[in-house]
Chain A
Amino acid sequence: MKLKTLTSMVVALSAGALLAACQVDKAPDSVSGYTFATKDTQAMQDDNFSNPAMLWVGIGEEEWIKKDGSAGKSCASCHGGAKPGSDEEGMYAIDPVLDTSGGATKISMKGVATKYPIFDKASKKPMVLEERINLCRTKNMKAKAWKWESDQMMGTTMLVKMQSRGMPIMSTADQASSPLNGAWKAGMKFFNERRGQMDMACKNCHDDYPGTRIRANMLTQAQVNGFPTFRLKWQKPGTIHRRYAGCNKMVRAKHFKRGSNEYKNLEVYMTWRSRGLKVETPAVRN
């Protein structure tokens, strides 16, 4: 009897420990922008057939297998998968740490996007997914870099991120040991710094008043887990950097270029803020 109780206690304890170890780091009280969207918008996102962003994912699928550049390669030449009409299970990434044999160490593309932005050792700066795709294009494919907001770039980014749909965003950028910690600090400063004629910080709306209406618009927590996202107001998908610029202009503040250090640092901080939320790309928002 006693032994039985002890055994069950040990089992319960170890199960608890296991559960704790598996638990994903999640920011307290964080919820996706999905929560604040209208029912119609949520329904649009939930059904791939009615999600308008899927048209761009289709562009991404076409680009994935298209040979471009003087090296005569497509994305699929190295990463497999993404054949139109078939599923994209076959997509894989090359593990940058394990790989010593020029592309032989394949890892699943699932989950790869949850770790972005990564730290780029060469530039000692954060690298966002758009930049990683362009690095592949210029260095490996010897092709021209895509523009930040081009249909090809957004389509391909969404296609890659979609492989991680439903998986939690990971970030440890808040830790001093993380190479992204400097960018995280700069991004946090940006988020909390009042700016523009209206003298507002990102924080003033998105930390202090989520779920509250500004005229007809519902303020959200400004989570990044759905980007690139199809925004009904834009009538097309846009990157998180486009959203940053829009917000900056709205408070009549100076905005920065897509891909600027300012916005990349902000993306590092805001990705950490969204840690634990599931990737929804391509999301639909009002």
Chain B
Amino acid sequence: MPASDPPDFEALASALARALALPVTEETLPGVATNLALAYRLAPAFLDFPLPDTLEPAAIFDPRPNPVVAP
């Protein structure tokens, strides 16, 4: 769950960009930070929702090899 006290998203985005080697510049930082802040604002809606520990994610994984497709 994100912190209840919102972080400085420009500082957070700047630090994450360095850590993840993402090409965020001084010019693009405000836009990236705005989008990061939006995700942090929305995410608690499902992060806080109680779910059973045994529930599997919805993504479907099929262990069989994909059929060969002719180009």
The answer to whether A and B interact is no
What residues make up the interface of B, taking CB atoms closer than 8 Å to A? none
